[in-house]
Amino acid sequence: MKKFFKTLLKLSLSILFGLVLLEGVASIAAYTQLGTTNIAALHERSTQNAYLAELGEKSWAETISPHLFLGWVRTEAAVIRQGDRVNNVGLIGRDFPMRKDTSKFTVLVTGGSVADQFTRTGALEKLLNESGKFSKPVVVLNGATGSFAEPHQAIVVLLYGEIADAVITIEGANEAARGPYRLEYPHNESFLRANPITRHGADMLGAAWQSHELKTLSMAHNSRALFYLVRGIRNNIEARYEENPKENNDLPRYFSFPTDWSEDQRREFNYEQYKKYWRSIRALGTVHGFKQAHFVQPLAAFKNVLTAEELSRIPKDAFNEKSKAAYVRLENELLSVNSTEIPVFDLGNIFQDVTESVYTDQVHCNKHGYEIMARAVADKLIPLWQ
State the Cα–Cα distance between residues 129 and 100, nearest whole angstrom.
19
State the Cα–Cα distance between residues 134 and 128, nearest whole angstrom.
8
Enumerate residues 6+ apart whose C-beta is below 8 A from 181: 252, 255, 256, 257
Sequence ranges of the domains in the chain: 56-191+275-385
State the Cα–Cα distance between residues 277 and 283, nearest whole angstrom.
10
Q: Are strands 71-74 and 64-67 parallel, antiparallel or unpaired?
A: antiparallel
Q: Indicate the Cα dihedral angle 312, 313, 315, 319, nearest 10°.
A: -80
CA 84 vs. chain centroid, Å, equals 17
For the full predicted model, state whether its pTM sits above 0.85. Answer: no
Q: What is the CA radius of gyration of the chain?
A: 24
Angle 263-288/152-160 helices, nearest 10 degrees? 10
State the Cα–Cα distance between residues 312 and 308, nearest whole angstrom.
6
Burial class (CB in 10 A: 0-12, 13-18, 19+), 158: middle
Phi, psi of 56 (to 5 degrees): 65, -130
Q: Would you give per-residue pLDDT tens digits along the chain (386 residues)?
A: 666 666 766 666 667 666 666 666 666 766 776 667 676 666 555 654 544 444 445 667 778 889 999 999 998 887 877 778 999 999 999 999 999 999 999 999 999 999 999 999 999 999 999 999 999 999 999 999 999 999 999 999 999 999 999 999 999 999 998 778 999 998 777 887 787 677 666 666 666 666 667 777 767 777 777 777 777 777 776 666 555 555 456 788 889 999 999 999 999 999 999 999 999 999 999 999 999 999 999 999 999 889 999 999 888 777 788 888 999 999 999 999 998 889 999 999 999 999 999 999 999 999 999 999 999 999 999 999 87
Q: What DSSP element (H or E) covers 210?
A: helix 203-219
Q: What is the CATH number of domain 56-191+275-385?
A: 3.40.50.1110
State the Cα–Cα distance between residues 122 and 140, nearest whole angstrom.
8
Contact 243, 213 (CB under 8 A): no
| 3 state DSSP class of 170 | strand
